[in-house]
Structure 1
């Protein structure tokens, strides 16, 4: 048995497709199929049900997958342990975070450093679904995502971090109403760059416009926050985003005008991990540090919309 076979199996489960898994692993589909066949022959069980039209994993395959996740996680932790020893650091934490919460990660890492000292981190920017997948496959330790998208199951531990505060943000090129708020009707007449409809943040914005009974003026839709920020700073469009999606270390006054949208139902961002006991003391300390960090206070202080 080779570790590559277990990695192939993990990707097959993730993509529910031999061809997509092969592409993700950087091998040909025949090579990946042969590796799985060899694994099945060696173990004496059928892992993939090839008779069904719809992709399926057998009961034996489910048990093999659990062991595969545990083995691959163990190998990853062994490598981390060696790296930690060589670098003389407290540990390595792997985090998955949704795009609109990226800028709160430095605040969390600072809290971890204050408690644990020097450490290393690996941060993946992922959609909600991918965060759950990587938690299940034990490729990340902690996920930061929309609370309502977190599985409410005994196998997961979930806690709320903060409630999002959505704002309309624009450069000085736009004339916005005075004050800290803007109506949905007024916001609908401003040319906007928004995230794509598949993203939870955008879905919440759409609910706001629909509730107000108005249609937004959309000039750009993308899954790239970097592109939205660039277009907004260039004065070409405005945007509606959680205030936590803007760089927290850069003061907004003088750079961007921000207006709150009243009546908006904010999304809650939460932190999630597998509920099974952490195998490393450092991972447990990271989790405790995250839970004790008062992010809501930091967001209110650093990102109050400018008048």
Structure 2
């Protein structure tokens, strides 16, 4: 029961709500509240300040939460250690990655496998803010994200991976100007499918059009890369996306045309982890291997498609 109480407490902190935490834990709210009360009774302290209208944690609660994160992380690592031993694998690593960097992950994992041998991984596709939250709660070992969006604090260690290369892409059936570039004015005349406005790479696209002083024709906005890829391949729209959002090792030559956009402000993608001690030995090896992996050749190859 003790571990379950700590898990409930972690979810309450995450959602800042008993009802949302109960839903995430798949228990009733009274059961969750009762478990936290029992934990407070066992420790002889108050963790959640129930007198305030706004959710709050007491000073004692802050200390307990840090302790809870450490214990739950230790339990997770112990389970991974046992699982790795049984399966005769090098270890387990948990990675969070932004949607537009998904296709670099297989390349990185391939390099890790070549250096460390067989291993297991859990990969979660998440927005920047969720990656930060899960790093802090120690549910992730490593994040792959826009590192300029990482809080400027000593709590995180950040290393650059690559500068995004964004391109306009259309199906092979579409007509584009000759050459390897297209102007923002020409791109604005095409029907476009773009990622949602809250995503960092879309915000960079908006800045590009605003700087050029043109208004794009937007036919689809979505947070789904799969939806955009499907619409582009159907020949219905063009898109502007980072090259890394397309399959890197299987360039769709003959199926996509790509053009660079001049003067694009690239997003900076990198590795992020907690700087405090606690990363498992295997996760540290993964970190070191990823930093040595060259991605630029694969990105450049895809840019030449079409």
Same fold, TM exceeding 0.5? yes
Residue in 1 that maps onto 2:72: 72
Residue in 2 that maps onto 1:202: 202
Instruction: After TM superposition, give the deviation of residue 152 of structure 1 in Å.
Output: 2.1
Asked if 1:229 corresponds to 2:233, the answer is no
Superposition map of 1:227-266 within 5 A: 227-266=227-266
Count how many residue pairs are aligned between Structure 1 and Structure 2.
Answer: 306
Residue in 2 that maps onto 1:108: 108
Instruction: After TM superposition, give the deviation of residue 276 of structure 1 in Å.
Output: 1.9
Any conservation in 2 of the 1:260–1:305 contact (CA below 8 Å)? Answer: no
Per-residue displacement from partner, 1:213-271 (whole Å, max 9, x unpaired)? 11111111111111111111111111110000001122232010101111110000010
Residue in 1 that maps onto 2:213: 213
Residue in 2 that maps onto 1:303: 302
Higher mean C-alpha deviation, range 289-298 or range 57-66: 289-298
Any conservation in 2 of the 1:180–1:306 contact (CA below 8 Å)? Answer: no
Instruction: After TM superposition, give the deviation of residue 306 of structure 1 in Å.
Output: 3.1
Residue in 2 that maps onto 1:187: 187
Superposition map of 1:73-88 within 5 A: 73-88=73-88
Any conservation in 2 of the 1:171–1:233 contact (CA below 8 Å)? Answer: yes
Any conservation in 2 of the 1:100–1:244 contact (CA below 8 Å)? Answer: yes
Any conservation in 1 of the 2:248–2:298 contact (CA below 8 Å)? Answer: no
User: Quick one: distance in 1 between partners of 2:37 and 2:134?
Assistant: 25
CA RMSD of aligned residues (A): 1.2
Asked if 1:50 corresponds to 2:80, the answer is no
Name stretches of at least 5 consecutive residues in structure 1 with no aligned partner. none
Superposition map of 1:46-195 within 5 A: 46-195=46-195
Per-residue displacement from partner, 1:73-107 (whole Å, max 9, x unpaired)? 11101110111011101101110000000000011
User: Quick one: distance in 2 between partners of 1:122 and 1:279?
Assistant: 15
User: Quick one: distance in 1 between partners of 2:298 and 2:232?
Assistant: 24
User: Quick one: distance in 1 between partners of 2:189 and 2:59?
Assistant: 55
TM-score, scaled to structure 2: 0.97
Residue in 2 that maps onto 1:290: 290
User: Quick one: distance in 1 between partners of 2:250 and 2:114?
Assistant: 22
Per-residue displacement from partner, 1:97-156 (whole Å, max 9, x unpaired)? 000000000111111111111111110001101101111111110000001111221111
Structure 1 runs (4+) deviating above 4 angstroms are none
User: Quick one: distance in 2 between partners of 1:256 and 1:172?
Assistant: 5
User: Quick one: distance in 2 between partners of 1:12 and 1:166?
Assistant: 39
TM-score, scaled to structure 1: 0.97
SS at match of 1:160: strand
Name stretches of at least 5 consecutive residues in structure 2 with no aligned partner. none
